[in-house]
Structure 1
Amino acid sequence: MPTLVKRLLAALVIFLLLVVINQYMSKEGLFGFGVPSYYARLIVLAGINIILAVSLNLITGFTGQFSIGHAGFMAVGAYSSAYLTVYYAQAWERSLGGIVGGSLAHALIFLLAILVGAIVAALAGLIVGIPSLRLRGDYLAIVTLGFAEIIRIVILNIDSVGGATGFTVPGYANFLWVYAFAIITIVIVYNIVHSDAGRALVSIREDELAAEAMGINTTRYKVLAFVISSALAGMAGVLAGHYLSFLSTNDFQFIRSFEIIIMIVLGGMGSLTGAILGAIIITFLPELLRTLGPRLESLLSSIFGADNIPASVHTFLLQLANYRLVIFAALLILIMLTRPQGILGTREFGLSWLKRARRRPEGDKPVGTGGVSIAEQEPPSAIDRAKEVKNQ
């Protein structure tokens, strides 16, 4: 079967699976079964964080450029698409609905909004990247942080997108949209990393001076990676805004950029699966700690009995949720002390270990005595050479 056909079939299977899961996670459920809205919301937010972490990993993990402005590009994509959908999309959707049907018109309009958000964020990334990516290290981090705050303050003073009061937008996005674009993001970054451009990016990360000496235009490749990363961040902003149905500049402060950085550092910089793992952990761990106290109290009650638990322990467990961020920070510090390269480091987690080991083809066997190639064999001693001459 041709490779293209295999990929199209795989894409179709993944899409159908996403459609089924999306129905299962909806309020109506699937055949009477479903996921509580709280957990469904967490799963969708994890998908948005996966897009953000994987896109930042392209510029920080694979290119080695420390950027703290990711939340700014996320805000650009979110607000530009929200302006489109609030002021123009509804009229366009009604016009298209009479031609192609309501559902298809809805999907086309939202695809257009995602495209607009990604393009505007990419342009912002280009404007920021050309002057700033000539810098390195801490200077680059400070510049990107400053640009992100400038973007946020500018949006804060635009009344047409809500300003300081926030901006209500249509709720177009759901599980299907978020995870479809999360998969697209992973595929895009994977293909870039495993291309000639990706090898140039990795060479810049390892030694920028050596890369320049080998003729690689380091500024060009850094700007290219920065623009692609910004576009993907803008796409995540579009999905976040149209899933939450509300935008506020407080959601795009510099602390949001640090949160995305923590995801890739925790999972492993330079690892796609590490970025995905870090995004999932950072999304779910604070919420798991929120319910840690009641869960521990329920466990102790089942073991010792509710009447045998001291009042002080009961009070402590009830107040444990107030300290969840302290526990969360302590766990992150512990992981960084024990595993500074991240959980996966630069390795990738895959299913290759499930494949059965193949026998080496006969033509690949080394030529020489005892299965050892001639090049790896030690030269014969003088006594051995004398024996060979005598035998001949």
Structure 2
Amino acid sequence: MLWLYVLLWPLLGIKPEGLEFATSFALWSKLAVAAAILLALWQLKERGVFGFATRPARAVSAALSKATDRVPMWLRLALLAAAALAFPLLTERYAHDVAISVLVYICLGLGLNVVVGMAGLLDLGYIAFYGVGAYTYALLSVHFGLSFWLSLPIAGAFSACAGCIIGYPTLRMRGDYLAIVTLGFGEIVRIVLNNWMSLTNGPNGILGIKPPGAYWWQDGKIEHIWLGSLEQFYYVILGLAVCTVVAVYRINHSRIGRAFEAVREDQTAAELMGVNTLGIKLLAYALGAVFGGLAGAFFAARMRFVSPESFTFIESAMVLAMVVLGGMGSIPGVILGALALIALPEVFRGFELYRMFVFGGVMAVMMIFRPKGLWPAKRLGARSEERD
């Protein structure tokens, strides 16, 4: 609590008219009382004082778990799909905007999960692929007039090429050296976008990007319309997110996914067992970059403007935090991590100045009590020492 006060007082006690202690101490005293109460309850729980309530609760929880396990998977997925499709119809514009941001970061998080969670390669410059996809669609739309749907696979292909270019020099590196090199490549891409005036228009960015189009039945005939509302953009990114989830799931449960796991667990042993570690690591970079490029193309289509300021290191750190917080290698975990890091600050918006402070505290508590993530990945099979 003393450490908390050291952090809290500069936020509330340093003002233009001078130093003040009353406001920060009043807030800190409330937090101290709440922390003392929680600590006392925790100590009583550890001593078994609340056993009369926890035992029935555990029994009810076990019964509910058995009941939910009997629900078929197809029914769960159908209910989830129905909720996702009905979300824009039951919410307002602000919720649509937040949901679109969450889905974009889900695509980015799942793409980085292929590199970090499955293959075990720490990548601190992943946002570079996001920028490559965004600028690819921006240039194709402004200079060549290509539609969003035709540019989407091209943006993914260019991002995959960028992944191979970035990944090839790092194939023989591990640990901290790998992280530093990927961080450097991410900054190189941002600086190139910022200084190549003839192609990217430098820091001024690119304007006039066309939104996605679609053919719709209107006035008794099929007409082409431009998607402009947030509801329409929501369904586009929802489709991309679903395709990303399915693709990452199939990769994880394929022979390539098993090779990724072997490289992650022990690269030397995997190479001795016949796994082409250099090719597998390069493939991990390329596959992860594809999903980042697709998300970048959607970002450019939605904003209709791109600039280098949107692809900074802090974005890479945010996406990496989603993967680590949710659970490396876990698809549901990455989705929960994106919800926690994008939607949770919006829930705390009513705290105004304390919003990010509370958000950081909640994240710290989560990582203390769930060090492997909110939804850790399940190992397929078991090791011999685990059976013993």
Per the normalisation by structure 1, the TM-score is 0.68
Q: Residue type of the partner of 2:110?
A: V
Report the equivalent of 2:128: 72
Whole-angstrom CA distance in 2 between matches of 1:338 and 1:85? 47
**CA positional deviation for 1:202:** 0.4
Q: How many pairs were matched up?
A: 282
Q: How does 1:188-203 map to 2 (within 5 A)?
A: 188-203=247-262
Match of 1:139 among 162, 166, 177: 177
Q: Residue type of the partner of 1:163?
A: G
Match of 2:114 among 58, 64, 69: 58
Q: Which 5+ residue runs of structure 1 have no aligned equivalent?
A: 1-8, 26-32, 93-108, 294-320, 349-392
Whole-angstrom CA distance in 2 between matches of 1:241 and 1:79? 7
Contact 2:206 2:306 in 1 (8 A): yes
**CA positional deviation for 1:122:** 0.6
Structural RMSD (CA) = 2.3
**CA positional deviation for 1:124:** 0.5
Distance 1:40 1:222, change over 3 A: same
Match of 1:126 among 164, 173, 196: 164
Q: How does 1:272-283 map to 2 (within 5 A)?
A: 272-283=331-342
Q: Residue type of the partner of 1:38?
A: Y
Contact 1:18 1:180 in 2 (8 A): no
Q: Residue type of the partner of 2:374?
A: I
**CA positional deviation for 1:245:** 2.2
Distance 1:265 1:130, change over 3 A: same
Q: Residue type of the partner of 1:45?
A: S
Contact 1:74 1:233 in 2 (8 A): yes
Contact 1:63 1:205 in 2 (8 A): yes
Whole-angstrom CA distance in 2 between matches of 1:283 and 1:166? 25
Contact 2:148 2:301 in 1 (8 A): no
Contact 1:286 1:328 in 2 (8 A): yes
**Pairing 1:208–2:267 present:** yes
Contact 1:70 1:148 in 2 (8 A): yes
Partner SS, residue 118 of structure 1: helix
Report the equivalent of 1:224: 283
Whole-angstrom CA distance in 1 between matches of 2:142 and 2:264? 42
Distance 1:194 1:67, change over 3 A: same
**CA positional deviation for 1:279:** 0.9
**Pairing 1:161–2:200 present:** yes
Report the equivalent of 2:318: 259
Contact 1:19 1:176 in 2 (8 A): no
Whole-angstrom CA distance in 2 between matches of 1:20 and 1:218? 41
**CA positional deviation for 1:167:** 2.4
**CA positional deviation for 1:68:** 0.8
Whole-angstrom CA distance in 1 between matches of 2:365 and 2:276? 39
Whole-angstrom CA distance in 2 between matches of 1:223 and 1:187? 21
**CA positional deviation for 1:200:** 0.9
Contact 2:263 2:277 in 1 (8 A): yes
Whole-angstrom CA distance in 2 between matches of 1:133 and 1:182? 29
**Pairing 1:40–2:96 present:** yes
Whole-angstrom CA distance in 2 between matches of 1:273 and 1:111? 27
Contact 1:74 1:252 in 2 (8 A): yes
**CA positional deviation for 1:347:** 3.5
Contact 1:71 1:253 in 2 (8 A): yes
Whole-angstrom CA distance in 2 between matches of 1:243 and 1:272? 25
Whole-angstrom CA distance in 2 between matches of 1:175 and 1:210? 44
Partner SS, residue 121 of structure 2: coil
Q: Give the structure with the larger strand fraction.
A: 2
Match of 1:148 among 186, 205, 229: 186
Q: Which 5+ residue runs of structure 2 have no aligned equivalent?
A: 1-73, 213-226, 228-232, 380-388
Report the equivalent of 1:171: 211
Report the equivalent of 1:324: 355
Contact 2:148 2:211 in 1 (8 A): no
Match of 1:88 among 144, 156, 162: 144
Whole-angstrom CA distance in 2 between matches of 1:87 and 1:345? 45
Percent same amino acid among aligned pairs? Answer: 37
**CA positional deviation for 1:114:** 1.0
Per the normalisation by structure 2, the TM-score is 0.69
Whole-angstrom CA distance in 2 between matches of 1:202 and 1:48? 26
**CA positional deviation for 1:73:** 0.7
Q: Residue type of the partner of 2:187?
A: E
**CA positional deviation for 1:288:** 1.2
**CA positional deviation for 1:161:** 2.9
Q: Residue type of the partner of 2:211?
A: G
Partner SS, residue 167 of structure 2: helix
Distance 1:20 1:286, change over 3 A: closer
Report the equivalent of 2:13: none
- Which has the greater radius of gyration? 1
Distance 1:18 1:284, change over 3 A: closer
**CA positional deviation for 1:165:** 2.1
Q: Residue type of the partner of 1:185?
A: T
Whole-angstrom CA distance in 1 between matches of 2:160 and 2:313? 19
Q: Residue type of the partner of 1:193?
A: N
Q: Residue type of the partner of 2:205?
A: G
Report the equivalent of 1:374: none
Partner SS, residue 287 of structure 1: helix
Report the equivalent of 1:341: 372
**CA positional deviation for 1:34:** 5.2
